[in-house]
């Protein structure tokens, strides 16, 4: 049995090896220093024994699995030059005892490794085509840069990554060695999550960050120059509006605000300004307005303007903005993507030429997604299609019920024929989402009574999780503004935003009906 390692293998695992098995570090150093052809032999079943012992003794199970999986019982030629296998876009996967491996290479310290094809060369789409399969396996079973025999991707908790020698570091700097350097610049656990989102959004590249709001900020500041101009829409998340109104002008960036359906105003703004970015949510918050992504993209691209769609309310299951011509799609992963009301995160997907600019800004400023959060989001994504399909069904049925109820004045939901962009939503969405906004017949106090009479949903901000959540925007998001100011944004005192979770429809229906009976 030969000792194996890999120069192409992501150093998080190597770093873990050194921390977890100091004796192994000495063995490798001895091999590198005295003989490039020295092969150390170990007893039969050493790999499995080490794996079991590591799992018992290491507090971080993911680390133990990496330690065990970084050894192989297969010998390969020792005359391959250093960094021969490096330079692939994604680090090759190191495997144990696989007779079908594509080839082998040598690490910089003379210890041999055997590698299989990189995830990119495996072709995810060749055997995974549906969203249901992609959310479970993309970035993982289809190939990941962490060598492990565990089904789940380990959490790599490290702030920095080490190199075998200076030449390997130079190889890394010049793109011949696939690795990581510092926690702010990347993490193997987060990389798996990014590959999963690439597959789901049909994107070339994705960057995950600490929150959806930071994703918006990073996008604007990376792509809009000082003195530039952007176009956005009237209905949107309030904190995004505050950033656009209060922070961007400090950099000389001006903005045109249009109605989501007003294409004439869009054309006029494009003709009158040198517009860097058109940005909107679709559906929007909280009125769930939809923009015609294909038409907006066509108009903006004729003027060289980048189109960024915040698809948080849709989720990648219901809408794939990039396939309709958008340049970028942004998500608050906190919502439907993670889906369990237990983690913050955000992401932006699109072509590498744009994502690289955002990533470069992100590397300088920070806003890093913690690897533990990356793990939670990845785990949540594996049930994304199941959750969203259930939430779509519940929300549509509930919107239809509410629209007929005498104590409901108006319902906002793109799945209803009464919605002003229903025809657009039908064309570019496969489901209409799990959030319904509606206006109760009554004033602020009667609406408060309705909300307080509900027994199932939590009164809280956010949406998209497995637990139903309800809020009254006039209080939750706009209470610091007087009523006349709230009305400028269409926020009436009787507006309710209801995010349906995965509870049973009949239970939710009974709860809403009894709460309406209280007013």
pLDDT for 94 beyond 50 = no
Q: Where are the beta strands (DSSP E) in 362-511?
A: 408-412, 435-440, 458-459, 469-471, 495-499
> Tell me, what DSSP letter sits at residue 246?
I
Over residues 88-102, mean pLDDT: 32
Domains of the chain: 131-141+187-382 (3.40.640.10), 384-517 (3.90.1150.10)
What pLDDT shows up at residue 129? 77
**In this predicted model, what pLDDT tens digit does every residue of 502-517 receive, in sequence order?**
999 999 999 999 999 9
C-alpha torsion angle, residues 431, 435, 440, 445 (rounded to 10): 180
Q: Which residue has the higher pLDDT, 45 or 98?
A: 45
Average pLDDT across the chain, whole number: 81
- Render the burial of 240-258: b for 16+ CB within 10 Å, e for the rest: bbebbeeebeeeebebbeb
Q: How confident is the model at residue 104 (pLDDT cuts 50, 70, 90)?
A: very low
Between 52-66, 122-136, 155-169, 316-330, the lowest mean confidence (pLDDT) is in 52-66
pLDDT for 422 beyond 50 = yes
Q: Which residue has the higher pLDDT, 509 or 111?
A: 509
What pLDDT shows up at residue 92? 32
C-alpha torsion angle, residues 109, 110, 111, 112 (rounded to 10): 130
Between 53-62, 97-106, 124-133, 190-199, the lowest mean confidence (pLDDT) is in 97-106
pLDDT for 135 beyond 90 = no
Q: What are phi and psi of 386, to 5 degrees?
A: -70, -45
Q: How confident is the model at residue 277 (pLDDT cuts 50, 70, 90)?
A: very high
Helix axes 61-69, 46-57, angle to 10 degrees: 160
- Render the burial of 264-288: b for 16+ CB within 10 Å, e for the rest: eebeebbeebebbbbbbbbbbbbbb
Over residues 400-413, mean pLDDT: 98
Over residues 266-270, mean pLDDT: 97
What pLDDT shows up at residue 126? 60
Helices (H), 441-488: 444-453, 473-476, 483-488
Between 58-62, 362-366, 492-496, the lowest mean confidence (pLDDT) is in 58-62
Tell me the pTM.
0.76
pLDDT for 221 beyond 80 = yes
**In this predicted model, what pLDDT tens digit does every residue of 25-47 receive, in sequence order?**
333 333 333 333 444 444 445 44
**In this predicted model, what pLDDT tens digit does every residue of 329-347 receive, in sequence order?**
999 999 999 999 999 999 9
What pLDDT shows up at residue 141? 75
For residue 166, with 0-12 CB atoms within 10 Å meaning exposed, 13-18 middle and 19 or more buried, which class applies? exposed
C-alpha torsion angle, residues 449, 454, 455, 457 (rounded to 10): -130
What pLDDT shows up at residue 134? 86
Over residues 113-120, mean pLDDT: 31
> Tell me, what DSSP letter sits at residue 245?
I
Query: Cα–Cα distance between 166 and 184 in angstroms, integer?
Result: 21
Q: How confident is the model at residue 127 (pLDDT cuts 50, 70, 90)?
A: confident
Collapsed DSSP state (helix, strand, coil) of residue 423: helix
Query: Cα–Cα distance between 326 and 305 in angstroms, integer?
Result: 10
**Which residue reads 């990581």 in tokens?**
180
Residues found in the chain: 519
What pLDDT shows up at residue 388? 98
Q: How confident is the model at residue 85 (pLDDT cuts 50, 70, 90)?
A: very low
What pLDDT shows up at residue 144? 76
Between 48-57, 121-130, 337-346, the lowest mean confidence (pLDDT) is in 48-57
pLDDT for 110 beyond 70 = no
Q: What is the share, in percent, of the chain residues with pLDDT greater than 70?
A: 76
What pLDDT shows up at residue 484? 93
pLDDT for 319 beyond 50 = yes
Q: How confident is the model at residue 267 (pLDDT cuts 50, 70, 90)?
A: very high
**In this predicted model, what pLDDT tens digit does every residue of 457-491 receive, in sequence order?**
999 999 999 999 999 999 999 999 999 999 999 99
pLDDT for 414 beyond 80 = yes
pLDDT for 149 beyond 80 = yes
pLDDT for 379 beyond 70 = yes
What pLDDT shows up at residue 137? 83
Q: How confident is the model at residue 142 (pLDDT cuts 50, 70, 90)?
A: low
- Of these ranges, 95-99, 232-236, 401-405, the one predicted with the greatest mean pLDDT is 401-405
Q: What are phi and psi of 327, to 5 degrees?
A: -80, -40
- For residues 338 and 462, the answer to whether their CB atoms sit within 8 Å is no
pLDDT for 192 beyond 70 = yes
> Tell me, what DSSP letter sits at residue 94?
B
């Amino acid at each position: 049995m030969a000792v194996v390692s890999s120069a192409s293998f992501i150093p998080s695992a190597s770093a873990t090896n050194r921390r977890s098995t100091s004796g192994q570090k000495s063995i490798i150093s001895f091999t590198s220093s005295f003989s490039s052809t020295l092969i150390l032999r170990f007893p039969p079943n050493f790999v499995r024994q080490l794996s079991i012992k590591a799992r018992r003794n290491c507090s971080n199970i993911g680390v133990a699995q990496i330690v065990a999986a970084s050894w192989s019982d297969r010998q390969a030629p020792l005359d391959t030059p250093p960094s021969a296998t490096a330079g692939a876009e994604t680090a090759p996967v190191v495997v144990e005892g696989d007779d079908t491996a594509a080839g082998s290479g040598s690490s910089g310290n003379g210890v041999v490794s055997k590698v299989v094809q990189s995830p990119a060369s495996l072709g995810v789409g060749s055997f995974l085509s549906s969203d249901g399969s992609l959310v479970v396996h993309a970035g993982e079973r289809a190939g990941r840069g962490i060598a492990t025999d565990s089904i789940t991707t380990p959490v790599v908790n490290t702030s920095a990554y080490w190199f075998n020698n200076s030449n390997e570091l130079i190889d890394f700097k010049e793109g011949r060695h696939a690795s990581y350097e510092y926690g702010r610049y990347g993490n193997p656990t987060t990389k798996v999550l990014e590959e999963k989102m690439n597959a789901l959004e049909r994107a070339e590249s994705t960057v995950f960050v600490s929150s959806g709001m930071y994703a918006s900020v990073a996008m604007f500041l990376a792509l809009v120059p000082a003195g530039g101009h952007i176009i956005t829409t009237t209905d949107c998340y309030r904190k995004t509006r505050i950033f656009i109104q209060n922070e961007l002008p400090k950099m000389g960036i001006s903005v045109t605000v249009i109605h989501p359906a007003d294409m004439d105003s869009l054309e006029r703004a494009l003709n009158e300004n040198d517009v860097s970015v058109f940005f909107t949510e679709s559906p929007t918050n909280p009125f769930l307005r939809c923009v015609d992504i294909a038409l907006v993209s066509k108009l903006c691209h004729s003027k060289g303007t980048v189109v960024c769609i915040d698809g948080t309310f849709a989720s990648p299951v219901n809408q794939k903005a990039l396939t309709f011509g958008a340049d970028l799609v942004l998500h608050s992963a906190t919502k439907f993507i993670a889906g369990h009301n237990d983690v913050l995160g955000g992401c932006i997907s699109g072509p590498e030429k744009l994502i690289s600019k955002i990533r470069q800004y992100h590397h300088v400023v920070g806003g890093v997604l913690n690897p533990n959060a990356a793990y939670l989001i990845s785990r949540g994504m594996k049930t994304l299609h199941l959750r969203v399909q259930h939430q779509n069904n519940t929300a549509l049925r509930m919107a239809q019920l509410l629209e007929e109820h005498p104590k409901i004045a108006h319902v906002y939901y793109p799945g209803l024929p009464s919605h002003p962009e229903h025809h657009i939503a039908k064309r570019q969405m496969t489901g209409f989402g799990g959030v319904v906004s509606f206006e109760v017949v009554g004033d602020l106090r009667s609406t408060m009574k309705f909300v307080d009479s509900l027994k199932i949903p939590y009164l809280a901000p956010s949406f998209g999780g497995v637990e139903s959540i309800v809020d009254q925007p006039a209080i939750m998001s706009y209470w610091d503004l007087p009523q006349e100011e709230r009305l400028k944004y269409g926020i009436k005192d009787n507006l309710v935003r209801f995010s349906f979770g995965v509870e049973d429809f009949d239970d939710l229906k009974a709860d809403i009906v009894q709460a309406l009976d209280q007013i």
